[in-house]
Structure 1
């Protein structure tokens, strides 16, 4: 379905190239972005073009980030992924020329604006944060992997659907926790995400480079990839999409993992590697260890994957971004003078008071979401220590940090799906813009 006549941007975005490609894959999104950004096969940061080819293998976060983004504007990703000034100080070495075209994105990063001020404050605060929090995160996610595999084997051995549910819930928690690691520099724990049948490499594009940078806009692949079944942006929608999605959505949640695997397989451009086979490791182990027939093992594999998919999707789609009071592209936007990227992120998110403060719930349920969007490379375990400086900076600029209950956000998600009239009032005016 062509959404170009249905979805309109209030931020001034042109309709993204290849947005309506049937696969909605990360690689297609990057291909369209390459067309739209006009970065001349280089890397654009603000209004300058850089040649980072010689830096690919030197990049501390891994070569994949540089390789994927060639030919695109990486301003938002560069700013949000580098708290230290070291990266910015390296840029002149790779400078090629000034860009001949204006940026395709309206967001600003003024030196004394909200986001850069907050980033400097957070960078200083990190020196006081206990490193034990990061260790606790590793222990938690490793324990979830053990829990998933153990319940899987027990479910097959005892042919227990109940134990299968426990395994599926463990898988849902594990997948949410693994999301912490594909935002960061390369680590083997990012591959825990692949046990879900989804791909951490695909999500590094669809989630990290798209959703996190252009949240709730026409450039957000997590918005476009669920269309036309779920239409979160306000505008023209038929009755079935507005209200039928409340019912058929549950079935889509249940097959998210499997359909994601099929989509990734269909979009592969290279030979299958070991990570593509990782989801089937529990199936193979159960067949070898329990001596149960393969069809029994396969049944429980599908049952557990379905439970995990349902659990993960319910949490993910109701976590932070879909509520009528949250900005969605099409709503009246802030004036251009207030389109600081950090302010925009807070306009497009709400946090849940039910889970804030719990290391386990924050890690497994996309918690502390505002801080996570602002500083995605920081471990979830340390975000709780950053609230004092975060709230102080918000108060200084008059930026609102909003809290709701999980139930309010679930109800809000359904209201947003039914919403056709955009918000006419822009977000709360800032005290200072930098």
Structure 2
């Protein structure tokens, strides 16, 4: 399941990935790019790949890397590219970060942007909601003790079921190992968003490796933490819209694939593949090409990243694929064990992750058009450029009051709040959901919350069915 065919990659290879200094900011407050002046701090134009590009301006943060409170890996993820959304969303509760940035400005191409007014309102209200529960939104944003206890139980179950799968040759063990690998993803996901610990960044940097049996953790941070969260549901920027290019048409702008995608059996067959792709295929593509679809692997020259990428591929292959052939009595049983693990985990991953963004309303959100509406339907015109409003409208929640679904989905049932505040641990999201929803309703931002998983899965499949028909000549022309 390749991330893109060659012709798709060519079509998507837009300039912003090769010329980072001229970044576009699809949903953040617009900047005045007509004003360009040379920074007083630098008389020469810096190599764009060595700078952090925020709101169109270049910052040389290299000397700050080792002092970054959030850890070295968190700040390096944004180096050499437009990291506006990354910086803004992970400093939602750190108002003083702009003063720090000013010290490192070396290439000024834009005036200071107007703040995202909707995000500012959300931040203020969410801060109040957290403080009302006795939480400091900055210091207490990581996992609480209950969450750490859950992490411990998950790790224990992972070790036991991994032993059954790899050493004891148990088919049941392989099935349970897949479930344990999925729940380990809760640790990896929190850590990949630097949300496991505020005080100990190393817990985040090592914790993301808990993602290892769902996806390569190094690849994951480029694909998910950076690209998907910065450019959610943007066809030419979000790699999550291109997982199934060969098999399923996900977006109206994607090429037509097959009428088979209107059938549940076909979708489920395709959904057996994500873990194989994310643990083996995509990492090898990144190693060989330095790209994941339109996402550039900008720190591929770091030895630790090259080593880590290759180590993960070997580790996953050894534990999941090779070990059963030494522990089972027959090749058939060993192969069944491997497939059972991959298919089970693939389904868990796809059926909880894809449904949160892949539906008609989430993919057709158009705040600019809504802001130009008529009468009572017209929204505040500032919402047209609001990254935060776009995050709300391109995601959805389901069964938000259910602890069972929260655990089963690894917290993905509260996707809206997670996308707005990715640095806030999933264990706190239920505390802020009411105020987020109320604020969205107040400003006319579409907050989609479904009562059950079945309901959101249904509209997900309905969208696939709609795209299973060949596009009209007008659609093809557009």
Establish whether TM, by shorter chain, passes 0.5.
yes
Name the counterpart of 1:213.
230
8 Å contact kept, 1:356–1:362: no
Closer/same/farther in 2, CA of residues 388 and 366 from structure 1, 3 Å limit: closer
Offset of residue 168 of structure 1: 1.6
Residues 220-258 of structure 1: CA deviation (Å, up to 9, x unaligned): 111134324222222475361573675433233223222
8 Å contact kept, 2:247–2:257: no
Name the counterpart of 2:357.
321
Q: Secondary structure at the match of 1:376?
A: coil
Distance in structure 1 (CA, Å) of the matches to 2:101 and 2:164: 53
Name the counterpart of 1:403.
449
Distance in structure 2 (CA, Å) of the matches to 1:203 and 1:284: 21
Offset of residue 167 of structure 1: 2.2
What does 1:69-88 align with in structure 2 at a 5 Å threshold?
A: 69-83=78-92, 84-88=94-98
Offset of residue 259 of structure 1: 2.2
Offset of residue 129 of structure 1: 4.5
Pick which of 371-380 and 186-195 moved more.
186-195
Closer/same/farther in 2, CA of residues 246 and 162 from structure 1, 3 Å limit: same
1:98 aligns with 2:108: yes
Pick which of 379-388 and 268-277 moved more.
268-277
Q: Secondary structure at the match of 1:144?
A: helix
Distance in structure 1 (CA, Å) of the matches to 2:347 and 2:19: 31
Distance in structure 2 (CA, Å) of the matches to 1:278 and 1:157: 15
8 Å contact kept, 2:118–2:383: no
TM-score normalised according to structure 1 size:
0.77
CA-atom RMSD in angstroms: 3.7
8 Å contact kept, 2:17–2:81: no
Offset of residue 316 of structure 1: 1.5
Q: Secondary structure at the match of 2:258?
A: helix
Name the counterpart of 2:67.
58
Closer/same/farther in 2, CA of residues 4 and 221 from structure 1, 3 Å limit: closer
Closer/same/farther in 2, CA of residues 285 and 72 from structure 1, 3 Å limit: closer
1:116 aligns with 2:95: no
Pick which of 74-83 and 125-134 moved more.
125-134
8 Å contact kept, 1:349–1:370: yes
Distance in structure 2 (CA, Å) of the matches to 1:151 and 1:267: 30
Distance in structure 2 (CA, Å) of the matches to 1:299 and 1:236: 34
Name the counterpart of 1:44.
53
Distance in structure 2 (CA, Å) of the matches to 1:239 and 1:188: 39
Distance in structure 1 (CA, Å) of the matches to 2:258 and 2:234: 23
Residues 82-128 of structure 1: CA deviation (Å, up to 9, x unaligned): 0211322211111123216x99xxxx8636x1111211332344343
Pick which of 352-361 and 113-122 moved more.
352-361
Offset of residue 79 of structure 1: 0.9
TM-score normalised according to structure 2 size:
0.71
Distance in structure 1 (CA, Å) of the matches to 2:257 and 2:324: 46
Higher relative contact order (CA 8 A, sep 6+): 1
Q: Secondary structure at the match of 2:48?
A: coil
1:181 aligns with 2:221: no
Closer/same/farther in 2, CA of residues 362 and 388 from structure 1, 3 Å limit: farther
Q: Secondary structure at the match of 2:282?
A: helix
Closer/same/farther in 2, CA of residues 201 and 232 from structure 1, 3 Å limit: same
Distance in structure 2 (CA, Å) of the matches to 1:362 and 1:123: 28
Closer/same/farther in 2, CA of residues 245 and 376 from structure 1, 3 Å limit: farther
**Count of matched residue positions in the alignment of Structure 1 and Structure 2:** 394
Q: Secondary structure at the match of 1:254?
A: coil
Offset of residue 408 of structure 1: 1.9
Distance in structure 2 (CA, Å) of the matches to 1:78 and 1:321: 22
Name the counterpart of 2:431.
385
Give ranges in structure 2 of 5+ residues lacking alignment. 25-46, 195-200, 288-299, 372-380, 473-478
What does 1:313-392 align with in structure 2 at a 5 Å threshold?
A: 313-318=350-355, 320-328=356-364, 333-335=369-371, 337-339=382-384, 340-353=386-399, 356-357=402-403, 360-361=406-407, 364-392=410-438
Q: Secondary structure at the match of 1:263?
A: helix
Give ranges in structure 1 of 5+ residues lacking alignment. 6-14, 20-29, 423-434
Distance in structure 2 (CA, Å) of the matches to 1:33 and 1:182: 27
Distance in structure 1 (CA, Å) of the matches to 2:227 and 2:256: 27
Offset of residue 334 of structure 1: 3.9
